[in-house]
Amino acid sequence: MGNIRVLVADDEPLARRGVRQLLAPHPDISVVGESRNGPDTLRALDALKPDLLFLDVQMPEMDGFAVLRSRGVDRLPAVVFVTAHDQFAVRAFEAHAIDYLVKPLNVERFEAALQRVRERLCLLESADLARRLTALLAAERAEREKKGIERLVVSTPESDLVIAVAEIDWIGADDYYSRLHVGRSTYLLRESLSSLEARLDRSRFARVHRAAIVQLDAIKELRTTTRGDEAILRDGSRIPVSRRRRVVLDEWLARGR
């Protein structure tokens, strides 16, 4: 962990000094501020954003529990209660405090509280890192899926052939397989058309029929015939277009693609 930033909230100057003295031998901890009542503590939490709050239960204007209620548990740093009275212990832990120290502070007990704080912050840091990594991977995966795959590998009797997706004119369904049409050549890919559609860049490829996917830039003309709509490709291929999917192609044309 990095440096642990501490705010000490207590209405007694001697009590604040005592906490500072107990923290002084720990190089991983720095006191970034002090407060002497509830409102001051709330302002300091906003301004200083400490990792750890040593909080006196009984303070003027607002006690420690009122501070927690005003701040909200989800916006609080780690909290260790410090008080001269042990009858508040149960309420302290109900308020999600990491520990509860009774004045006068005992060095051994104080050290144990610090160790609990370090362990809790390490767990929170690990959880936060895991969340950020998960979000990063999810964003990267979403971006990759948005862009679509760039190449496909098809098996031929001689070898595995790598085909750039950009070179594919259209893809037809062939039972449970897909047939790639690349110029004058065709290749059988052991993947269904629906599965392949999900992996292609939808800004470049469109499902125009239940049995065909077309590269949009390969379309030369859209035509309506007595047999229905069809897409005429640059290589002269005629691909049937279903009525529902014709709407998608018309929108693509309207955007000037």
Which of these three, 116, 141, 166, is where a domain ends?
A: 141
- How many structural domains is the chain composed of? 2
Share of the chain above pLDDT 70, in %: 88
Residue 143 has pLDDT above 80, yes or no: no
Distance CA 49, CA 177 (A): 58
Asked, for residue 161, whether it belongs to a domain, the answer is: yes
Beta-strand runs (E) in 10-57:
29-35, 52-56
At 169, the pLDDT band (50, 70, 90 cuts) reads very high
- Judge whether 225 lies within some domain: yes
What is the pLDDT averaged over residues 152-164? Answer: 89
Over residues 180-188, mean pLDDT: 92
Decide the pairing of beta strands 4-9 and 52-56: parallel
- Range of 19's domain? 4-141
pLDDT band at 94; cut points 50, 70, 90: low
- Which structure tokens are listed for 74? 């989800």
> What does the angle CA 49 – CA 51 – CA 56 come to, to the nearest 5 degrees?
90
* 186 and 76 in a common domain: no
Q: Are residues 78 and 201 in the same domain?
A: no
pTM given for the model: 0.53
- Does residue 86 have a pLDDT over 70? no
Give the pLDDT of residue 179. 94
The reply to whether 64 falls in a domain is yes
Domain identity same for 91 and 161: no
One domain, residues 89 and 204 = no
Residues 118 and 57 in one domain: yes
- Using the structure block, give the residue that is written with the tokens 């971006």: 143
Asked, for residue 16, whether it belongs to a domain, the answer is yes
Query: How long is the chain?
Result: 257
In the chain, the N- to C-terminal Cα span, in Å, equals: 52
Last residue of a domain, one of 112, 141, 170: 141
| pLDDT value at 93 more than 60 | no
User: Are residues 122 and 234 located together in one domain of the fold?
Assistant: no
pLDDT of 12: 93
What is the spatial distance between Cα 215 and Cα 166, in angstroms, rounded to a whole number?
8
pLDDT tens digits along 211-233 = 999 999 999 888 888 888 999 99
Residue 146 lies in a domain: no
| Same domain as 133, residue 22 | yes
Give the long-range contacts of residues 137-145, CB within 8 A, separation 24 or more.
145/199
**Residues 186, 118: Cα–Cα separation, whole Å:** 63
Query: Would you give the DSSP letter of residue 210?
Result: T
Q: What is the CATH number of the domain that holds 205?
A: 2.40.50.1020
Comparing 2-11, 89-98, 118-127, which segment has the lowest mean pLDDT?
Answer: 89-98
